[in-house]
Amino acid sequence: MKITKGAVVTGGTSLEYKTGDWRDQKPVLNQSWCKACGVCEEDCPDGAIHVEDGAFSIDYDFCKGCGICARECPTEAIQMIPEEK
Ligand code: SF4
Ligand code: SF4
């Protein structure tokens, strides 16, 4: 089989590849400022924000630290801080 550079050989494998160590900034959620609007969950390109028991949480195994959630949160409940390696 000839494989083109950059080609996706098999689909549906993203859960096998934890991408959290790509991060140089980390989003931190202040639950007391969160209004549970769901914007961050909808906008996260990595599907790394989840609702659990009515509270939003960030899955750091897959968050790449892009900062979209912090930028889009209407209450500034998410802050980006430097990642400690
Ligand atoms: S966007 Fe902000 S207020 Fe809305 S659910 Fe996310 S953290 Fe909470
Ligand atoms: S920083 Fe980016 S990847 Fe991480 S939770 Fe926020 S939107 Fe998702």
| Type of residue numbered 26 | K
What is the per-residue pLDDT for 1? Answer: 66
List the one residue out of 46, 38, 48 whose CA is nearest residue 72.
38
Angle at 18 between CA 3 and CA 32, to 5 degrees: 145
What is the per-residue pLDDT for 8? Answer: 67
Q: Is the pLDDT of residue 57 over 70?
A: yes
Q: Is the pLDDT of residue 60 over 80?
A: yes
Give ligand 1 pocket residues (Cβ under 6 A): 29, 34-40, 56, 73, 75, 77-78
Q: Which of 14, 22, 64 to mutate to test the pocket of ligand 2 (most atoms within 8 A of CB)?
A: 64
E strand segments, 30-77: 49-52, 55-58
Backbone phi, then psi, for 69, in 5-degree steps? -60, -45
pLDDT digits (tens, 9 = 90+) for 11-38: 777 777 788 888 999 999 998 999 989 9
Q: Is the pLDDT of residue 9 over 80?
A: no
Is residue 29 within a helix (H) or strand (E), and if so which, with residue range?
strand 25-29
